[in-house]
Amino acid sequence: MAEELVYVPREALRQLFFTQLVNSGLPEKFSEKTADLMIFADERGIHSHGAVRAEYYSNRIKAKGYNLQPTLHFEQTGPCSGIYHGDNAIGHYVAYKAMEEAIAMAKHKGIAVVGVKEMGHSGAIGYYARQAALEGMVALTVCQSDPMVVPFGGAKPYFGTNPIAFATPKREGKPILFDMATTVQAWGKILDARSKGKMIPDTWAVDDQGEPTTNPHAVAALLPAAGPKGYGLMMMIDILAGSLLGLPFGQHVTSMYKDLSEYRRLGQLHIVINPAFFGDADRFLAQISQMVDELHAIPPSKGFDQVYYPGEIQEMMIEKYRESGIPVAKEIYDYLTQ
Ligand code: NAI
């Protein structure tokens, strides 16, 4: 039976996240940014990375699976490169601070490549790419996740759901934000289905026998998006966000759920490009807006109402939820308000 939903106004839900994190022992500045990331996801309908993660973060904080007194520092390693040392703090704050460094560098140097070294899970990574786009930059960010995906043709998991996000400003309105797990679906979508009592399509995941399953509770591993293509992409992301930074890779990445007291040591890589260093920035922005207009003008195919640009539907969800409140499984709402 489908689980009951509670519709919560954005600010109230954000406050519940913040309070839960602080009460679990996470210092306020980390709790602020983590709550921002969680509401960023939920208000866009990316329910895999919002309320559904609250209890997990709380349990990991209590288990000291994050460094709660980290020494964070940025090391410039070349004219356009650097490493942000996260000291296993909660990833949301670390990845955000690293992107701040990357934006500042790209504004002056034209491009910045900043590795983020040793942090906890950093949530919906589109947040960081969008952070740069809001400053007029084009950005790409990739990160590691724990091994829960069968490689193409394999029966055991090896890579994580290693996501990639790409954002660009346009001349007017919201940035374009493409943000995806390299699996058919993110692991959080399985959690979301579990919490809401829903079945999943048989193309998302396999059970412990390596067979496709529609039962979210039977999922043992996820499937790569588009077979060998998603698999290839997740491997390259692991190389950029992990091996390049000398971090554990593939099946050696620490599990998210097994030992909550163990530091994750995850890596992420931000690449930020200042369009002004590659031609006329105004013309660039105008061209992106023209591209969007032309895509919107393409007649929809059967079953579709229109062509959307990446991230557009998520932006529309913000408006929708402003009216209705954000849907949260009652079980999670009760947990947050107990
Ligand atoms: P998704 O499948 O819901 O969307 C992927 C992309 O496709 C989005 O940019 C979306 O705007 C676009 N899209 C979807 N429908 C569209 C349509 N009709 N027209 C145009 N564009 C459309 O996202 P997915 O793969 O489920 O990822 C969810 C989140 O999980 C992401 O925010 C990702 O960063 C996060 N994630 C984080 C991980 C971590 O370890 N930190 C691991 C894996 C995922």
pTM exceeds cut of 0.85: yes
Q: Indicate left, alpha or beta for 142 from its phi (over 0: left) and psi (-120 to 50: alpha).
A: beta
Find the Cα–Cα–Cα–Cα dihedral 31, 34, 40, 46, rounded to 10°: -130
Distance 182 CA to ligand 1 centre (A): 9
Q: What is the pLDDT along the chain (338 residues), one digit of tens a residue?
A: 557 999 999 999 999 999 999 999 999 999 999 999 999 999 999 998 999 999 999 999 999 999 999 999 999 999 999 999 999 999 999 999 999 999 999 999 999 999 999 999 999 999 999 999 999 999 999 999 999 999 999 889 999 999 999 999 999 899 999 999 999 998 888 988 998 889 999 999 999 988 999 999 999 999 999 999 999 999 999 999 999 999 999 999 999 888 999 999 999 999 999 999 999 999 999 999 999 999 999 999 999 999 999 999 999 999 999 999 999 999 999 999 98
Query: How many CB atoms are located within 10 Å of the residue 216 CB?
Result: 20
In the structure, which protein residues have their CB atom closer than 6 angstroms to any atom of ligand 1? 46, 48-49, 121-126, 143, 145, 161, 163, 165, 178-181, 185-186, 189, 308, 310-311, 313-314
Contact criterion met (CB below 8 Å) for 12 and 334? no
Q: Please, what are the domains in the chain?
A: 5-62+319-337 (1.10.1530.10), 73-183+224-277 (3.30.1370.60)
Rounded to whole angstroms, what are the CA distances from 224 to 158, 171, 211, 230, 233? Answer: 11, 34, 14, 5, 9
Contact criterion met (CB below 8 Å) for 236 and 182? no
Mutate to test the pocket of ligand 1, among 34, 42, 148, 180 (most ligand atoms within 8 A of CB): 180
